[in-house]
Amino acid sequence: MALFLYLHFPALQLDHLQLSAQSSKLPVALVDQQHQLLQINAAAINAGLKLKMGLASAAALCPDLQLLPYQPEQQAKVLHSVAQQLYQVSSDIALDKPAGLILRLDGMLQLYGGLEPYWQALSAKLTALTYRYQYSCGATPYAAKCLAYQQAGLITADNRLFNNALNSSPLSATELIPAMQLQMTRLGIHTLGQLQALPPAELARRFDSQLLSYLGRLRGDYYHALEYLQPEPGFSRYLELLYDISDSTVLVKPLATLLQQLEQQLSQANCQCYQLLLSLFFRDNPPLKLSIGSAQGEYKAQAWLALCQLQLENLPLPEPVYGLQLDVNHFAGQQHSTAALFNQHQARMSALQLISLLQARLGRAAVTGLTILNQHLPEHASLRSLPLLKGDLVDNQTKAQVQAQVLALRPAFLFNKPQPLTEAVTINQGPERLCPDGWQLAAQRDYFIGRNQQGQWLWLYRTANQQWFVHGLFS
Amino acid sequence: MNYAELFCQSHFSFLQGASSPAELVTQAAALGYQALAITDECSVAGVVRAYRCINEQQLALKLIVGSMFKLDKLQLVLLCPDKNAYSELCRVITNARRRSSKGDYQLTEWDLMSVKHCFILWFPSADDDSDQYWAKWLQKYQTGRLWLAMRRHLSHNEQEFSDYCQQLALQYQLPLICCGAVLMHVPERLALQHCVSAIRVGKPIRELGRELLSNAERALRPLAKLAKLFPQNWLTETSAIAKRCSFNLSELKYQYPAELVPEGETASSYLQKLVQEGSKKRFADGVPPRVQALIDKELTLIRELNYEYFFLTIHDVVQFAQSRQILYQGRGSAANSVVCYCLQITAVDPRQIQVLFERFLSKERQEPPDIDVDFEHERREEVIQYLYQKYGRERAALAATVISYRFKSALRDVGKALGLPVSQLDFLIKNIQRRDSATSWQQQLGALGLDSNSQTTCQLVQLVEELRGFPRHLSQHVGGFVISEGPLYELVPVENAAMADRTVIQWDKDDLETLELLKVDILALGMLTAIRKCFSLVQQHYQRSLSIAGINALGDDPAVFQMIQHADTVGLFQIESRAQMSMLPRLKPACYYDLVVQIAIVRPGPIQGDMVHPYLKRRNGIEPVSYPSPEVEQVLSRTMGVPIFQEQVIALAMVAAGFTGGEADQLRRAMASWKKTGELLQFKDKLINGMLNRGYQLEFAERIYQQICGFGEYGFPESHSASFAVLAYISAWLKHYYPAAFYTALLNSLPMGFYSPSQLLQDAKRHNVAVLPVCVNGSFWDYDLQPQSQEYAIRLGLRQVKGLSAAGAALLLKHRPAAGYSQLSQVRQAGLNRADLQALASANALIAISGDRYNSRWQLLDKQHSLPLFADETECNPIAIADETFNTKAHPALAETSSGYNLSTLQRGQLAAPTAIEEVLEDYAATGLSLQQHPIALLRQAGKLPRSVPAAALTEVRHKSPVRISGLVTLRQRPGTAAGVTFLSLEDETGTANVVVWLATAQAQQQAFLTAQILQVDGILEREGEVTHVIAGRLTDLSAELAAFATKSRDFH
């Protein structure tokens, strides 16, 4: 007989946030778009707050309540990571978003030699995770879920216990939509027991198939398909060197072996990866960890090796290396299709490849792009950004407007810090007056275009108290 | 140097301009401008305010009326040199506005072609094609009145654009002028301008970037600066244009519709004739000489002030209402005149209260006549349609109401513009206590988690304060009509309102007053509907014909006043609120004028002025009646020396503080807009010093000022109270003599008043009126009177059934057999949809034909019966069919459970019948009320309320003794006038108990206090005369005892 365990995490996102914040003394609540409380912490419960309470009453009851928005994607990530971690002790785990996990147990019982030892292992793992949870076993996923919602906590395979508990379950613990629950209440039907006592034929004449399909799955009459979690692929290999290597360039050869293996695995999965983690192990010193990235994604060992070489070239080693470890946490995307057979050798590398190369050589921080921002003040009108990133001008209308404005004459070179004007200039155009914002009228600047004795075109400004600065140079 | 600013937008260019018209004209005058044109976008909504400000402050500034328009890339300003141009502008605006939905406009070339008088300032767009096109076009149609307008705002590439414009001017021989395109009166408004721009596009300020103004040059700039920016001849040209603009708003005169006066009569003679005819009807035994003298005096005054048409217009409207038997009642200062009594505009009899009729209109007070007419709320539309029909849409329109930013809306919009999260703003708005006078809202922000020193918080505080009072959009006035002889659009632009087929003018009632244009207020009042319905019920069932005047003519009835004195006033007009109820036994009104005082005294004005207790003391003879001076005695004698009414306070400002008539009128207007503008402060010193100088006590003067502020929150003049008192008395009379008809009429006129149907019916039961449940065979759509053992009982109407559509109910009634429905299938065949049928079942309306509500619903849910084939099938044997169609073999598990089921029970009573508690809960869920046991009674029987005293038994409890009560929380009220106290009403099966919760008690037990629907209160009983309160100590939430209880209390109204 099949046996399922349902784990319900009533406040997953909040608990997760609190883990990192470590400030559980303050009452905190997550609210949804309708300003209802969805998750609350212990301090908030103590203040008398309840789930589904409106923001107004909540605020009145507990004025120092901290509010955070409920983010389903965030919670889904946490749920996924919980499942990943439980995967170490239990194999068949299905995600039941937004806050539940369904574990199929019958396979595991043999492995652990019974329910009791299995539950011990699992609950130890759960306790370590520190998220609040409710649980129960059940003969079907829905039965376990319904019981877990009521915090039944049944760890058993006894069908009689299940049935008793299910029969007295309120409809609010079921999967029936609220409208259906209301309809049942208004027929005087409040529990699953009352509902199940009605002949299915009579129900079929009155309600849609959803109800019958729910009841069927609840009882196990209908098959309930579950999609079990697949462990995430990744690459992790350790290579002990045959002899210690003290010249970093010599490391390339053993590394090539590892990269070959990686390429093989990537090819099998038709994937590529964006980042490698290379660890070098020493006898006395702690291991040295290098991260090597490729902006466009790569799977070829040759390409990766070239990038690694660049990093290794200038790397001083504190002592000889005795082992290498190569880790790739995420495989991603599809491999690029190979270039057409008769294509000429066009540009040797793509822009992305060039950037990877520059970054490997100069360091990540040294390579940036430039984006135009929608701001009046010159120092705010552009921004260093990731290379090759398109600007943040979102909608087309503003884009057009901004483009018209950008056509305003602006110098190609802007000083980081404006220089005081020290030479004689002749003013050619201006003034253009700019205020930093509505609050700093005194900080307004009048910009002019002028020319110095050498014939350079300068971008100048005058402050409110008549001081002159050079802010940029026209090319 | 002479300069006239010809392009200036006020904040009536909504969310563009950042200064009020008054600020703009004041600043322009201070800068030495010769003239200022207020040119809002397709609007003249701001000009009257500018005009008023110039007049009031005697500014040396000429006001030019104009408006700015956009049509694709074309932008221009029209200015009015004379009255013809003004009418033309109004017409253009009206046409452009009427083409679009509310708030928008759409100009066409035709509009511009038709311009023959207005001056045109044209702003090239920098798009060469478009500019060439329009330059040619404008030159063709508008030459001679056309200028090319230059702006300089120190923006980029300005020089090039200037050269380009001058080239255009040269090419087309256009004269050049300069203008400021002003949006702010001072540069410091830049932050607010950024803020409103952000609100307009719905994005935070920081995301707008280059869409914002780059500097503060669109403020009114000093002449010296303009002289540097523009060539002298451009500046001189503005002044020349201003000189040619001679139009002044004071030229606008209102022409009343002439058709009201028959040929051969003058308005004056016709009014006199109507009054004479009316007086014969009103005074059947001849007009008493004193009244005749009053009539003559009033008519003379009306003639002197030229108000005949105003009275004739209203007379015409009420004549129409009379002909359609629509109940109405006039109110307002001019309504309380014998002339209005004779014209049947009001039913207040001058013989009943002579004292009112002395203060009808006065030349000294310089206020326009005020007559509002209330009509039955369900039939007011007929009156409005009559006006539209009689005068046409061109000649009648509603006045506008300017919807302004209030604190909450300002905080929300500014907060969004500053990029605060919406949920945080909601939180702030819900939690800032504006009534907390001890901590300002700015301080509270800190307590609510905003860093009070942060830049954003400081900006928020400043911008919210600045934005408050800014107009947001124009809306329609509740009923103020403007009617004219000629087309209205020659007087003022007309635009579309949000409601279909409604048009509003661009001015509100203050603007109309400033220009001395009169409006006619056509208002809606629910109580008039109820009274008229009650009259028809009495006519139908008791064969007695009633009218308001008729009941009034019976004189003050002691039995009715006794009922009022005992605060038995649920459902009565104006005196049914809890505050009124607790005042009634103390004030003990015994005649009509007492009711006038009673209605006016429980208001913020007298309460904040601390006038209630002095009045009660004097009335009960505890304190002697005295007056500080004979002048004051004249004003206050009818209220025993205590100022109660708004008129008295204004009169006091005149006699005791030396206000002139004009100043008193300004004071009155300031009171009316106090909430919006806070203008009252400017009168404080003048009032208090004036009174001190004339020998009055400082304390008295302070109290008068407080009272004025109170009136500002909720103005309530005697003239309105007098008319309301008539209706209050009529409703009391009906309740006393025809209670069943009264409740029925009231229930059929909901929503109105303070009480829910449940509360009204419980009150009815306490007055021994029987109530019958809703039933498919007995009920009609409305509540109805049905005979039951020699009395009439109230039968619940189908309108009370939640979820039942009016169309469904109509079908049900249409097909109802004479003997009533006998089977469910008949009801189905009537054609009601599923939801309607379910609603009927839930309300237990089908109990007569298909059993209790659970089983009725169960039968109705059965889909097979709604198929045509089975429609004739009786309800009794559904199982046979079911077994054939549903193959249980495919579902062995199902077969197992159903096999144990006794098939015979699957017929009629398939489901267990509801329990008593379930019945009550279902009643509340389906109809919002229950005729069965009160939920509290059920709890009491179940032993859940040990030692709780029923509300009715509280009279037996000794003063100051501890007591426990329990009940449904039907009201949580925190009046602004009682600091820190919340009043709760707890309803049980015997009545309603009043609970007072002090702030500290509430704070200590917030959960029970705020969320309980059923509350148990342990406290101390306090009694003052007939008024009993329980002062709450411990609050216990019993809501869980009756889970999912469907009635919600009315919170904090």
Domain assignment of residue A224, yes or no:
no
Residue A52 covered by a domain: yes
How does B173-205 read in b/e, with b if 16+ C-beta sit within 10 Å? Answer: ebebbbbbbbbbbebebbbbbbbbbbbeeebeb
Q: Give the pair of three-digit tokens for residue B1.
A: 């140097």
Buried residues in A291-318 as b, exposed as e (16+ CB within 10 A): ebbbbbbbbbbebbbbbbbbbbeeeebe
Is the CB of A441 less than 8 angstroms away from the CB of B187? yes
Structure ipTM: 0.70
Average pLDDT over residues B381-401: 89
Q: Based on the domain organization, do A76 and A127 belong to the same domain?
A: yes
What is the arithmetic mean of pLDDT over A321-331?
84
Query: Residue A273 has what pLDDT?
Result: 85
The token pair at B167 is: 């080239």
Q: Cα angle vertex A201, ends A195, A203, to 5°?
A: 40
Rounded average pLDDT over B613-635: 85
B499 exposure class (CB count in 10 Å sphere: 0-12, 13-18, 19+): exposed
| Per-residue pLDDT tens digits for B297-324 | 889 888 888 888 889 999 999 999 999 9
- The edge-to-edge listing of strands for the beta sheet with B119-123 is B4-5, B35-41, B62-71, B74-79, B119-123, B146-150, B176-178
Distance CA B877, CA B908 (A): 9
Tell me, yes or no, whether A354 lies in a domain: no
Searching chain B, which residue's CA lies closest to the CA of residue A406?
B210
Say what the pLDDT of residue B365 is.
57
Q: Which residue, of A408, A432, A457, is where some domain finishes?
A: A408
Cα-based torsion angle of the residue sequence B370, B374, B375, B381 in order, rounded to the nearest 10 degrees? 60
Of B842, B868, B874, the closest CA to residue B856 belongs to B842
DSSP B221: -
Q: Is the pLDDT of residue A391 over 70?
A: no
What pLDDT score was predicted for residue B53? 92
Report residue A390's pLDDT band, with 50, 70 and 90 as the boundaries.
Answer: low
**What is chain B's mean pLDDT, rounded?**
85
Q: Which residue, A164, A192, A219, sits at the end of a domain?
A: A219
Do A64 and A142 belong to one domain?
A: yes
Residue B644 reports pLDDT greater than 70: yes
Bigger pLDDT: A22 vs B347:
B347
For residue A136, the cross-strand partners are A6
The reported pTM is 0.73
DSSP per-residue codes, A9-64: -TTHHHHHHHHHH--TTS-EEEE-TT-BEEEE-HHHHHTT--TT-BHHHHHHH-TT
Query: CB-CB: which of B195, B862, B1011 is closest to A205?
Result: B862
B858, A216: Cβ pair inside 8 Å? no
Please write the tens of the pLDDT for every residue from B72-94. Answer: 889 999 999 999 999 999 999 99
CATH of the domain at A268: 3.30.1490.100
pLDDT at residue number A445: 92
What is the distance in angstroms between the Cα of B471 and the nearest Cα belonging to chain A? 21
How much is the pLDDT for B232? 94
| For residues B956-985, average pLDDT | 82
Contact status of B447 with chain A (Cβ, < 8 Å): yes
What confidence score (pLDDT) does residue A395 get?
Answer: 47
Give the amino acid at A109.
L
pLDDT at B565: 93
Residue B434 contacts by C-beta under 8 Å, 6 or more apart in sequence? B407, B441
Residue A349 placed within a domain: no
Indicate the pLDDT class of residue B1045, thresholds 50, 70 and 90. very low
Could you give the percent of chain B with pLDDT greater than 90? 39
Nearest to A139 by CA among A277, A318, A1, A19: A1
Higher pLDDT, B170 or A270: B170
- Name the domain count of chain A: 4
Interface touch A55/B906, C-beta < 8 Å: no
Query: Chain B residues with CB inside 8 Å of A56's CB?
Result: 430
SS3 state of residue B216:
coil
Count Cβ atoms within 10 A of the Cβ of residue A327 and give its class: 0-12 exposed, 13-18 middle, 19 or more buried.
middle
Same domain for A57 and A19, yes or no, is yes
Whether the predicted pLDDT of A373 surpasses 80 = no
Clarify whether residues A161 and A306 are in a common domain.
no
Token pair 């170490």 is at which residue?
A: A88
Which of 41-100 (A) contact B at CB < 8 A? 48, 53, 55-57, 59-61, 63-64, 66-67, 69
DSSP state of A277: E
Interacting residues of B129 by C-beta distance below 8 A, sequence separation 6+: none
**Same structural domain for residues A30 and A137?**
yes
Q: Which amino acid is at B54?
A: I
Q: Tell me: do A269 and A244 sit in the same domain.
A: yes
Mean pLDDT of all residues in B398-423: 90
Report the C-alpha gap between A142 and B108 in whole angstroms. Answer: 65
Q: Cβ(A353)–Cβ(A296) under 8 Å? A: yes
Q: How far apart are CA B855 and CA A82, in angstroms?
A: 47
Classify residue B961 by burial, with Cβ atoms within 10 Å: 0-12, 13-18, 19+. Answer: exposed
What distance in Å separates the CA atoms of residue B92 and residue B98, rounded to the nearest whole number? 10
Predicted local confidence at residue B730, as pLDDT: 95
Element (H, E) at B403: strand B396-404
Distance CA B575, CA B583 (A): 9
Instruction: Indicate the angle between helix axes B612-619 and B592-601, nearest 10 degrees.
Output: 150
* pLDDT given for residue B935 in this prediction: 84
Chain A with chain B: Cβ pairs closer than 8 A: 165
A409: which chain B residues are within 8 Å (Cβ-Cβ)? Answer: 156-157
pLDDT at residue A261, rounded to an integer: 83
**CA angle at residue B472 from B470 to B478, to 5 degrees?**
110
Find the mean pLDDT for residues B1004-1010: 77
Statement: residue B458 has pLDDT above 70: yes
pLDDT the model gives residue B248: 92
> Is residue A422 domain-resident?
yes
Structure tokens at B501: 């087929």
- For residue A420, say if its preceding peptide bond is cis, omega within 30 degrees of 0: no
- Among the partner-chain residues B211, B215, B1010, the one whose CB lies closest to the CB of A61 is B1010
Identify from A33, A55, A181, A186 which residue to disrupt to test chain B contact, counting B C-beta atoms within 10 A and taking the largest count: A186
Chain segment B130-153, per-residue pLDDT in tens: 999 999 999 988 888 999 999 999
Contacts of B290 (CB under 8 A, 6+ apart): B354
To the nearest 10 degrees (0 to 180), the angle between helices B289-305 and B267-282 is 160
Nearest to A333 by CA among A298, A294, A291: A298
- Confirm whether A350 is domain-assigned: no
Rounded to a whole number of angstroms, the distance from the CA of A209 to the nearest CA of chain B is 13
Residues B52, B58: Cα–Cα separation, whole Å: 10
Each residue's pLDDT tens digit, B417-456: 999 888 888 888 877 776 666 677 887 787 777 777 888 8
CA R_g for chain A: 32
* Lowest mean pLDDT segment, chosen from A370-384, B487-501, B587-601: A370-384
Torsion sign (Cα): B526, B529, B533, B538? positive
Most confident residue range from B242-246, B659-663, B1024-1028: B242-246
Residues B809-835 have a mean pLDDT of: 88
Cα separation values, B616 from A474, B182, B577, B708, Å? 84, 57, 19, 20
Q: Which residues of B touch A198 (CB under 8 A)?
A: 910
Residues of B in contact with A405 (CB under 8 A): 156, 210
Question: Which 87-116 residues of chain B touch chain A by CB within 8 A?
Answer: none
The reported pLDDT for the residue numbered A64 is 77
Range in A228-237, B60-69, B216-225 the model is least confident about: A228-237
- Domain co-membership, A401 together with A276: no
* pLDDT on residue B1044: 44
- Cβ–Cβ gap A432/B156 under 8 Å: yes
State the Cα–Cα distance between residues B876 and B880, nearest whole angstrom: 10
Average pLDDT over chain A, rounded to an integer: 82
Per the structure, the complete domain to which residue A57 belongs is given by 4-219
Of A219, A253, A275, the position where a domain reaches its end is A219
- Asked if A442 has any chain B CB less than 8 Å from its own CB, the reply is no
| pLDDT tens digits along B177-196 | 999 999 999 999 999 999 99
CB B847 within 8 A of CB B827: no
Pick from A12-21, B343-352, B619-628, B802-811: least confident: A12-21
Statement to judge: residues A428 and A394 lie in one domain: no
Does A332 score more than 80 pLDDT? Answer: no
Q: Tell me, yes or no, if B133 comes closer than 8 A to chain A by beta carbon.
A: no
Sheet of strand A66-69: strand arrangement? A37-40, A28-31, A66-69
pLDDT band at A348 (very low <50, low <70, confident <90, very high): low
Is residue A343 over pLDDT 60?
no
Alpha carbon of B681 to those of A332, B302, B324, B664: distances in Å?
Answer: 70, 34, 48, 14
Q: Is residue B902 very low, low, confident or very high in pLDDT (cuts 50, 70, 90)?
A: very low
Residues in chain B: 1053
User: Is the Cβ–Cβ distance between B609 and B707 less than 8 Å?
Assistant: yes
Q: Are residues A65 and A210 in the same domain?
A: yes
Q: Does B864 touch chain A (CB under 8 A)?
A: yes
Q: State the Cα–Cα distance between residues B192 and B19, nearest whole angstrom.
A: 9
Bridge partners, residue A278, by sequence: A290, A326
Lowest mean pLDDT segment, chosen from A37-41, A299-303, B450-454, B638-642: B450-454
Asked whether the predicted pLDDT for residue B691 surpasses 60, the reply is yes
β-sheet bridge partners, residue A8: A100, A134
Given pLDDT bands bounded at 50, 70 and 90, which one contains residue A260? confident
Q: How many CA within 13 A on the CB side of residue B525?
A: 23
Please, which contacts does B30-33 make with residues 24 or more away whose CB atoms are closer than 8 Å? B31/B220, B31/B221, B31/B222, B31/B223, B32/B223, B33/B3, B33/B4, B33/B5, B33/B61, B33/B220, B33/B223
User: DSSP letter at B184?
Assistant: B
pLDDT winner (highest mean) among B57-66, B419-428, B965-974: B57-66
Residue A310: which pLDDT band, with cuts at 50, 70 and 90? confident
The token pair at B326 is 């629509």
pLDDT at residue A394, as a whole number: 45
Which strands sit side by side in the sheet containing B771-772, from one edge to the other? B771-772, B791-795, B784-788
Same domain for A316 and A404, yes or no, is no
pLDDT-based confidence at residue A39 (cuts at 50, 70, 90) = confident
Q: Give the integer Cα–Cα distance in Å for A89 and A117.
A: 11
Residues sharing a CB contact under 8 Å with residue B696, sequence separation 6 or more, in sequence order: B628, B656
Same domain, A382 and A461: no
pLDDT, tens only, B486-521: 888 888 999 988 887 788 899 988 888 888 777 888
* pLDDT value, residue B479: 84
d(CA B598, CA B243): 58
Q: Is residue A209 part of a domain?
A: yes
Looking at chain A, the whole-number percentage of residues with pLDDT higher than 90 is 9
A458 shares a domain with A401:
no
Choose from A140, A202, A373, A382 for mutation: most chain B CBs within 10 A.
A202
Q: Which of A391, A58, A457, A195 is nearest to B1006 (CA)?
A: A58
What's the residue count for chain A?
Answer: 475
Residue B1030, SS3 per DSSP: strand
- A459: how many CB neighbours lie within 10 A of its CB? 24
Q: Which of A35, A53, A373 sits opposite B423 (nearest CB)?
A: A35
Contacts of B897 in chain A (CB under 8 A): 196-197, 199-200
pLDDT of residue B888: 39
B265-297 pLDDT, tens digit each: 898 999 999 999 999 988 888 888 888 888 898
Q: What is the pLDDT of residue B878?
A: 39
**Which range among A347-351, B667-671, B684-688 shows the weakest confidence by mean pLDDT?**
A347-351
Separation of alpha carbons B744 and B138, rounded Å? 67
Residue B111 has a pLDDT of: 93
